[in-house]
Chains A and B, each alone.
Chain A
Amino acid sequence: MSVPVGDYVALASVMFFIGVIGVVVRRNPLVMLMAVELMFNAANLLLVAFARLWVANAGHIFAFIVITVAAAEAAIGLAIIVTTFRPEKYVDVDDVRTLHG
């Protein structure tokens, strides 16, 4: 008894928008990073679900690639956060505006 693909899409959409809202409204970079991961996983879920549906293994492989990239991205992101906020007591992205034009 397989789960209908629509359910996967609904779940992935919910996860994705939670991620989006997390990135936009939270000011803690660690949480923002987690929200980004949430969006990645929403995409992964869709990739795997549709791979199952069409019996095409490319989707699975893509998912693995995304997981790898997400891991690398998290590592680099954390490194940046650590170096940027080392002197600070709290971490808040709105305090870092050195890239303004």
Chain B
Amino acid sequence: MTPGQTAVPRVDLLFSAAGKEVKVRVPAGVTIFDAASWNGIAIDSTCGGHGTCKKCKVRVTTGSVPPSSVDPRAFSDAELRDGWRLACRAEAAADLQIDVPPLSTRPKAATVGVGRQVILRPAVQKRYLELDEASLADQRSDAERVLAELDDLEPRVDLAVLRGLGPTLRAADFKVTAVVVDDVLVDIQPGDTTERKYGIAFDLGTTTVVATLLDLSTGTPLAVSSMLSKQQPLGADVISRISATMLDPANLPRLTELAHSSLADLTGEVCAEAGVDPLDVYEIALAGNATMTHLALGIDPEPLGVAPFILAARLWPEVLAQDLGVPVHSRARAVVFPAFGAYVGGDITAGLLAAGMNRDARTRLFLDIGTNCELVLGNRDWMLATAAPAGPAFEGAAVRCGMRAAEGAIESVSLDPDQVRLKVIGDAEPAGLCGSGLVDAVASLLSAGLLDRSGRFVPAEQAAQALPGLASRLTYLGQERVFVLHWCTEPGDVSNAIFISQRDIRELQFAKAAIASGWRVLLEEAELTEADVRQVLLAGSFGSYLSPSNAIRLGLVPRLPVPRIVSAGNVAGEGAKMALLSVRERAAALALLGEVRYVELSDHPDFNERFIGQLEFPA
């Protein structure tokens, strides 16, 4: 099923590799090499699928693939008749069975945070070269001399490399290491430096920025560091940062500079912690929402902030790390994740990659809940995405006793017949209520019968009957009804207590209605029902703290068995890491742009009615 799109034909491939059989389904026309790589099946290769190393030999045992132009150079006629092909040149046009020979070299694979195995194939490659010295008999240019040894990579040469090439070669006795990123020769270094190649994956969030330093030889994360965004003083959410640039043109360069400075500080921290020279970092990856990415690239974000909400570009031109103010190797490249729409940005592209949304046969709902909630519904055959403005309730704003998830925040709440149980971050004295605590509190009040489905506190008499031990906590602050979670001073002192007010609950209802309307519209577009969702993936840090059963109770997520609601963690950061570890994964992220259809909610017929209908809680 491919709602609203013409179906891409799929083929089934059955791989026999390392004594195991793995069946995968991929779009017709994909190479066997890609199909294997995407599904974690290791095939030998050193050239990265360019048809030059001739190592990715496989045998097609059932079904047929015509030999490519390269195959006769790699195989005898008998072997070709026997079904031997180079996997990187063999397009799977029909169902096939494929034998993958045991590997001659042990492939390196890294496990990323979501538990996915990524076969190492970084864009950063280093080659140690022992070149013939130039002579009157061999007057090839220095560049030709180097490139002749890199013929399988066929890199372009950066002008800056040529500037110092002659002296470097001669001082090092023509024993040098070539650094190639993607298809560009970015450096020639004296001696053998092949062990030293690193990358930094950045998750550029609106609130928090996280950097992970990766050893690209092993795939191992060496250091992780995070900080609050330095852009905070210019607004807590993306809309207020965009409006800051509209109010004062000087704020755009200021925000760009603050993003760069956040990235630079983290670069210093992770490199220092791991004892890595920043000049050995040759590539960075950046996953951020559309606004944060625009600001980091110095692009005026105004069209993102007003209807009809337009991106400057979905795909970015070639970007260098220094364009983002990241002080690493001067010719290091930057992979900047592309966006689906103004409010479904590169962080979501990265998240979908890490969550494997493009490979899983199960229909899943990916939810990233924040001030803006991104929703993606689908499976490997189709995906629909949308954004819902959930507002700041989950961030603790617009809630009277709300606060961010920091020390002192009540992060979970449950009601006993005669007491309120609280879990407080840092086991400190409660100072306020964060998003997950708010969800718990409202769900508990609903279940206890102190709140009705419409979201209104029940009359006092009814409360006294439902929960006599706690009825005294349901009281008034001025004209407004409140439920006291924690008496900070003495019982009865409501104004100094931590409470949840009737209007706080209304704020939560707005957020819930926005999110629930979002996934209901997607389900409707896909002609599916709640029960068809096999799994709900909660992305981001809020998702890690949210209680699945309470999320169901409030109707924030489809009504499914609790184990099907899973926290996916920081998938944006994981996606950024995967892009550095594997050019295949990076290509898969780009391919997502063509596979995901964006649905605009505010333009959807009856959206208001739907939204209003979703304000109430499920029965």
Judge: A and B partners, yes or no: no
B residues neighboring A (CB under 8 Å): none
